[in-house]
Structure 1
């Protein structure tokens, strides 16, 4: 292994560790807080485990990162990280009675999967709608257009997470 390859591998390992810490909800002083790895139950948990097994090795050209310790409810690709969480809570914008409820929130359908779009600083957060479990994908601006990641995830989501009306 060349010195450049070894350095790249070390950076990749550091990125993987950082991605897991971010997903686990631990942050350093300069990082924005992130939600913890989801812990779905019942049918949503079963759908999320099936999704985990069906996820592609690459999303938007980025290789999947192995999270340690492992979880069957989250996945990460690339650096900066494209993050997926399955079994996340219903987004406030889709929750009647919540402060941010918006029944006309912007959504897009990608290869048979409907996604809520939420612009964030530095990228987009997409959350499935009309599925047995809510699947959230966060895509940094580095992967413009951010929606491309959803194309790579659509088959897995459509096959593993059954449709269910909101």
Structure 2
């Protein structure tokens, strides 16, 4: 599978490599796949794929001055990891907040309730991606 992997640099890249090393082999009962091009900045599980990308830019909805900025955006906390939640045409996109690096997870509607995927990923994120309180 082709993944649109970010290309972070410096400390962000190091954090993403640490996260990649501790990602689980299964998420929501789906086995981790092998991407067409190996990268420490993205991973996927299952079909349809649950896709994780590390080192993505700050979501526009959290960027003051952007056309879509919304300081009241929906968020969810799963096992002490805070995630911005954005509805997609078929599922949800979750992006970490209050962490030193942005980690994005896109979950297809086939895995509803989509937030369940975050339970399987929370430990890895909490271990590898340091908190950055607001």
Task: Report the TM-score range of the alignment, normalised by the length of the smaller protein.
Answer: over 0.9
Structure 2, unmatched stretches of 5+, are none
Shift of 1:104: 1.1
Tell me the distance in 1 between the aligned counterparts of 2:133 and 2:70: 17
Whose radius of gyration is greater, 1 or 2?
Answer: 1
Structure 1, unmatched stretches of 5+, are 1-16, 24-35
Which one has the bigger helix percentage?
1
Tell me the distance in 2 between the aligned counterparts of 1:66 and 1:120: 24
How many residue pairs match? The answer is 134
Tell me the distance in 2 between the aligned counterparts of 1:72 and 1:162: 17
SS at match of 1:153: helix
Kept after mapping to 2: 8 A contact 1:110/1:151: yes
Higher RCO, Cα 8 Å, sep 6+: 2
Alpha-carbon RMSD across the aligned residues, in angstroms, is 0.9
2:66 is aligned with 1:102: no
- TM-score between both structures, scaled by the size of structure 2: 0.97
C-alpha deviations, 1:61-116, integer Å up to 9, x for none? Answer: 00000113200000000000000000001000000111111111000000010000
